[in-house]
Amino acid sequence: MTGLKKREAVFSHPYLLLLLGCLLLYILFPNGNSNNVLDARANGCLAALLAGGAVCVFLRKKALSPPQSRRSADVDPVRLVMMLCIAVCILCAAYLYFSSPFQLEILTLCGLLLLLGIGVHLHTGHRLNARWVCILLGAAAFLLRGVYILYTTYLTRQHDVTPIDTDYGHQAYILYFVNHAFQLPNFSPTSVWEFYHPPFYYFTSALWVKLQLLFGAETAVAMENVQFLTLFYSCAAVIVSYKILRACGFEGSALVVSFAVLCFHPSLILLAGSINNDMLCILFSLSAILYTLRWYQTPTRKNILLLAVCIGLAMMTKSSGALVAPAAAVLFLVKLGKEKAQRQMLWRQYAAFFAVCVPLGLWWNIYGKLRFGVPFGSFSGLTTDNPQYLGGFSAAQRLWGIDWQHLSVFENWDWQNHIFEYNLWIALLKTSLFDEATLFNNGPGLFGAQALFWINLLLVAVSLVCMVLTAVFAVRGRKHLPRGWNTGAARVQVLYFAVLYVTFLLFYVWFCFSAPYACTQSFRYIVPTVLIGSAGMGSILERTRQVPRRLQKATTGVCAALCAVFCLLSTFVYLLAGMYPLQ
């Protein structure tokens, strides 16, 4: 095994590496960090890690290179210039690091530049491939999410989270398990705000909080550190998304571009710091998508049972986890119609699926119905006298109206003057990037946020066009698909993602009208559509990648450039949001 392959083999256990990374971050910042100035302990640990890493890299490289090559190697002028530039950057960064109050953000920026330097080094050595690019993108995604949770407190940019001394909200649900020996609530779940949710996320979070309390942490600090769990969930979702893109058959630029969007999409950065059940539900939903594709490609009992567990746990985390089920059911029916000789085996697999999925996904609703008489799907609703109520706007206004008097890239969310976003599509675009927060009022941060909004709008338009073209090419047949793709399998895959996409969009529209409040117009309810849009763009890029014509090259270049600008702006905005916090 060559040195490069050995280094790639290290990343064959991504979830373990992610867990170690989260634990390392917790060791460095056990009390969270909201003031941007690193203490002596964190600085010392970081210095020790950097020094130890540098020594290990040096010794490893010295051991791998033969003595004669070390003595007679010619000096590469390009690499020499690169080394000098990196040295200058390190000196400048060191000066800024120790003289600036924004050490956390500068440290993250240095980490991102280091990853870029590794990529350039691999490229000049002709060793940079799509897998390595995705590894570096994944590491950058971890750094960006890590700094976000460190400068974001558990009360900042949250949904229905209140201080720990209150008895309602997501944090109260977690602390209920901590303070009541992990017993289920002995009252109607709809009688306390947010307690109607299934308990899986809150139970696991309570275990983490309880463990910290046993080691002497304060309750507020323990609750703050729940963000390390959501950090893990968000980064694990990125890993699962990579596996989905690989299961779709993407390689090269198609894989890199579609994966980069997922790594730097602001919705997954924001949810990495959210003390609620959204991110864990998204992780299980994406896992269900992965195992649906794997089961259809290889219909084994193991794959269908893993699919059942993922859907069941998604529903046990949040009721909307059931949204991935209709598309899976369509594939079940397609498989049953195609594999006539295997129908008996398939029926047994379906029976095993329901035996696992139904109890996991529905036990909470059954428990609430039998013990407290709570109807299925009930939740704690707001009243019509709430300022967020949008029932006074017509359906046309909700779908097509524009509030010309309050134009902003941030969602209109003004409690004092009762001004809220009412167009559900505009709210969807805004909350996908900034949630319900106003990150900046002026300066470069506002400029970056505005640029990110319009670039994202272009990216959404491109992904929609790509999804439509993918469906058209799949219908037209083999000669319009990438080489090596099976026509029947491609059509089924397109059908699956189309049903999935329509299911999420119909749910979003239904939810906005059935509960007409500003808070229901949030992209966090349909985050998996980012994956579907990226997959649509990736399928077109996979086709153009294999056809070396001028138009196809231009298409790849435009998509790659648009994605690169999107990623850079997302990084810029969310580093600046920590340096100059407004909300």
Q: What is the pLDDT of residues 208-253, one digit of tens each?
A: 999 999 998 899 999 999 999 999 999 999 999 999 999 998 999 8
* Residue 185: other Cβ atoms inside 10 A: 18
Q: What is the mean pLDDT of residues 391-404?
A: 90
CA-CA-CA-CA torsion sign (478, 482, 485, 490): negative
Tell whether the model's pLDDT for residue 287 goes beyond 90. yes
Q: How far apart are CA 515 and CA 390, in angstroms?
A: 9
Report pLDDT for 381: 75
Least confidently predicted of 59-63, 319-323, 355-359, 363-367? 59-63
Return the structure tokens found at 23: 């634990």
Burial of 376 (0-12, 13-18, 19+ CB in 10 A): exposed
User: Are the CB atoms for 53 and 60 separated by under 8 Å?
Assistant: no
Q: What is the mean pLDDT of residues 306-313?
A: 97
Report pLDDT for 61: 59
Q: How far apart are CA 511 and CA 513, in angstroms?
A: 5
Q: Residues 497-534: pLDDT tens digits?
A: 999 999 999 999 999 999 999 999 999 999 999 999 99
Report pLDDT for 5: 55
Confidence of residue 376 (pLDDT cuts 50, 70, 90): confident
Confidence of residue 73 (pLDDT cuts 50, 70, 90): very low
Report pLDDT for 70: 46
Q: What is the mean pLDDT of residues 189-199?
A: 91
User: Are the CB atoms for 149 and 269 separated by under 8 Å?
Assistant: no
Return the structure tokens found at 199: 């308990």
Confidence of residue 406 (pLDDT cuts 50, 70, 90): confident
Q: How far apart are CA 224 and CA 249, in angstroms?
A: 40
- Which 3-state string (H, E, C) describes 447-496? HHHHHHHHHHHHHHHHHHHHHHHHHHHHHHCHHHCCCCCCHHHHHHHHHH
Long-range residue pairs from 440-446, CB within 8 A, at least 24 positions apart, any chain: 440/576, 440/577, 440/580, 440/582, 441/582, 443/580, 444/576, 445/573, 445/576, 445/577, 445/580
- Residues paired with residue 102 on neighbouring β-strands, in sequence order: none
Q: Which residues contact 409 (CB under 8 A, 6 or more apart)?
A: 430, 433, 434, 449, 450, 452, 453
3-class DSSP state of 23: helix
Q: Closest Cα to residue 273, out of 367, 186, 191, 157?
A: 157
Q: Side-chain half-sphere of 237: how many Cα atoms within 13 Å?
A: 32
Return the structure tokens found at 582: 């407004």
Percentage helix, strand, coil for the chain under 3-state DSSP, each rounded to 5: 75, 0, 25
User: Are the CB atoms for 412 and 521 separated by under 8 Å?
Assistant: no
- Size of the chain in residues: 583
The share of the chain scoring above pLDDT 90, in percent, equals: 60
Tell whether the model's pLDDT for residue 412 goes beyond 90. no
